[in-house]
C-alpha cells in the first residue's frame, strides 16, 4: 500500500513537470525560419479586407473586435489572448504571425487546415492595421 502511494505521488509530480515544459504563459516565439517566409500578398491591396472578414468570423471571440485580446471568450481562457496593438506583437515579422496562425498553441487553434494559405496571410495584413 505504501508503495502505491509513493508511486502515485511520483506520477503526479512527473505529470506536473511535463505540463510545465511548454506553459502557454511563456512568451510565444515562432521559430527563426518563420521570419524567412515569403509573404505572397505584399502587393495585394485587397488583402486587408479579406483578412478583416476572416478575423471578424473566427478571431474576434477571443481577440476582441479591435484585436486587443478582450473578446467575450477571453475571460474563460487560461492565458490572455494576444493584443495585436501591442508593440511587441507588431514588432514580429509577417512570417512569425503567419506561422502562429498556421500552427496555433494551447487554446489557440491551428488554422492550417481550416484556412487557406492566402486567408492566413490576409489575416496577417489585417493585423497590421491594428497597431496603435
- Please state the rounded mean pLDDT for residues 60-81: 96
Q: Given this model, what pLDDT does residue 25 score?
A: 59
| 124 pLDDT higher than 50 | yes
The full set of domain ranges for the chain reads 27-128
| 89 pLDDT higher than 70 | yes
| 103 pLDDT higher than 70 | yes
**pLDDT-based confidence at 132, cuts 50/70/90?**
confident
Q: State pLDDT tens for residues 18-36.
A: 344 444 557 899 999 999 9
Q: Given this model, what pLDDT does residue 6 score?
A: 45
Tell me how far apart the alpha carbons of residues 114 and 112 are, in angstroms, rounded to a whole number. Answer: 6
| 7 pLDDT higher than 80 | no
**CB-based contact 100:108 (threshold 8 Å):** yes
**CB-based contact 51:122 (threshold 8 Å):** yes
| 77 pLDDT higher than 50 | yes
| 11 pLDDT higher than 50 | no
Q: What percent of the chain has pLDDT over 90?
A: 78
Fold of 27-128: Cytochrome Bc1 Complex; Chain D, domain 2 (1.10.760)
CB neighbourhood size of 122 (10 A): 24
Amino acid at each position: 500500500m505504501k508503495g502505491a502511494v509513493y508511486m502515485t505521488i511520483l506520477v503526479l509530480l512527473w505529470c506536473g513537470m511535463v505540463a510545465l515544459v511548454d506553459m502557454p504563459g511563456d512568451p510565444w516565439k515562432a521559430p527563426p525560419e518563420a521570419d524567412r517566409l515569403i509573404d505572397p500578398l505584399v502587393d495585394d491591396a485587397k488583402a486587408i479586407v479579406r483578412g478583416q472578414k476572416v478575423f471578424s468570423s473566427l478571431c474576434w471571440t477571443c481577440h476582441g473586435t479591435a484585436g486587443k485580446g478582450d473578446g467575450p471568450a477571453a475571460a474563460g481562457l487560461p492565458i490572455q489572448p494576444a493584443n495585436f496593438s501591442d508593440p511587441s506583437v507588431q514588432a514580429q515579422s509577417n512570417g512569425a504571425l503567419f506561422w502562429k496562425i498556421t500552427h496555433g498553441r494551447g487554446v489557440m487553434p491551428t488554422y492550417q487546415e481550416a484556412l487557406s494559405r492566402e486567408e492566413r496571410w490576409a489575416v496577417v495584413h489585417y493585423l497590421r492595421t491594428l497597431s496603435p
